[in-house]
Amino acid sequence: MVKLSSIQSNNNLNFDYPKISVIIPNYNYGEFLEEAILSVLNQSYSNIELIVIDGGSSDNSVDIIKKYQSHIFYWISEKDNGQTDAINKGLSKANGEYVCYLNSDDAYIGDAFEEIFKKSNSRQADFIFGKVYAGRDLKNVTIFGSNRNVFNLKNLVLFFYHTNYIIPSQSVLIKKSFLLKHDILNLKTNLKYCMDMDWYCRIWMHNPISYRYKGVHCFFRIHPKTKTKSQSDLMRYESIEIALAYLPKLDAKDQLRFFKYLFLSKIMRKIYRHNIQSNFYLMVSLIKRLGITGIWDRRVLGIYKRSIIPILYHSNGTEISA
């Protein structure tokens, strides 16, 4: 990803657009922090207040914050109780009509906010979301995030299963007045990995007007210290616990759908740990037990294909095109 060394001049003042409060929580991510800050400050959308909450970093983070402090609405560096606590501190200082948070190893791309808010229907929304680029840098990325245009609970609870059900936190903007009205301004501090999922479930319960934008305006960096990479099992367990707490809000059909995917997920994890031939028999068993769900799911089909083709190849000695 190209790093910016200074703040670009911006004469495009657009105070007719809603004010946005961007919160950057940070702890010892100095190697990425400047890029995150500049991705906010260099937006063509000028009606932004930037809030940086540092957890008492021991690296060069504070030096970077001080470098840009004249452009930062509020910042602090003190020991806290983790990322969730830092975001809540930022939310308490936010004055924007919309609030959002950007992890300090991620970034906004281009004119993200102007692209989102130049659509008049986005300005009516309480909850705005989209997709993100994900990768080590912008040269090698994939796009991930919810494929669903509708913001609903039955998809949120499948967070654990596939990225197609995840609403990336980097992509989200929420109307602060909506959060205050329903007393859901803060994230739950007992959650360490999927606090955003729980937040979105609580927001959904109050029937927000939602808007999903089409473009990709955020970058989610994947690196060895990323929680989703280094602590993926803990993240999965927490997301399932959250899902189970909200499951009673769904009807019987959608509850059954959740448990089918939970079963599917457990079997697939076993499949990855077995040899090819055992995978084939597990796949047959899976399809028998889940019926159509086990046939059309593309993750299942991908594993099934990788399982059965080598068996056919070895059994008749002829190469089969995948």
Q: Domain end: 239, 264, 299, which one?
A: 239
User: How much is the pLDDT for 2?
Assistant: 41
Instruction: Kindly state the helix (H) or strand (E) to which residue 63 belongs, with its residue range.
Output: helix 61-67
This prediction's pTM? 0.84
| Domain containing residue 44: CATH number | 3.90.550.10
Q: Which token pair is 320? A: 């089969």
User: How much is the pLDDT for 300?
Assistant: 62
Domain that holds residue 198: 20-239
Q: Are 62 and 202 found together in one domain?
A: yes
Q: Are 193 and 288 found together in one domain?
A: no
Q: Are 178 and 256 found together in one domain?
A: no
SS3 labels along 151-200: CCHHHHCCCCCCHHHCCCHHHCEEEHHHHHHCCCCCCCCCCCCCHHHHHH
Domain presence at residue 87:
yes
Token pair 């791309």: residue: 109
pLDDT by position in tens, the chain (length 322): 444 456 665 545 555 789 999 999 999 999 999 999 999 999 999 899 999 999 999 999 999 999 999 999 999 999 999 999 999 999 999 999 999 999 999 999 989 999 999 877 898 999 999 999 999 888 889 998 887 788 999 999 999 988 889 999 999 999 999 999 999 999 999 999 999 999 999 999 999 999 999 999 999 999 877 766 557 889 999 999 999 999 999 999 999 989 988 987 887 776 655 555 556 666 666 666 666 555 556 666 665 565 555 544 444 444 333 3
User: How much is the pLDDT for 275?
Assistant: 55
User: How much is the pLDDT for 3?
Assistant: 47
Domain presence at residue 15:
no
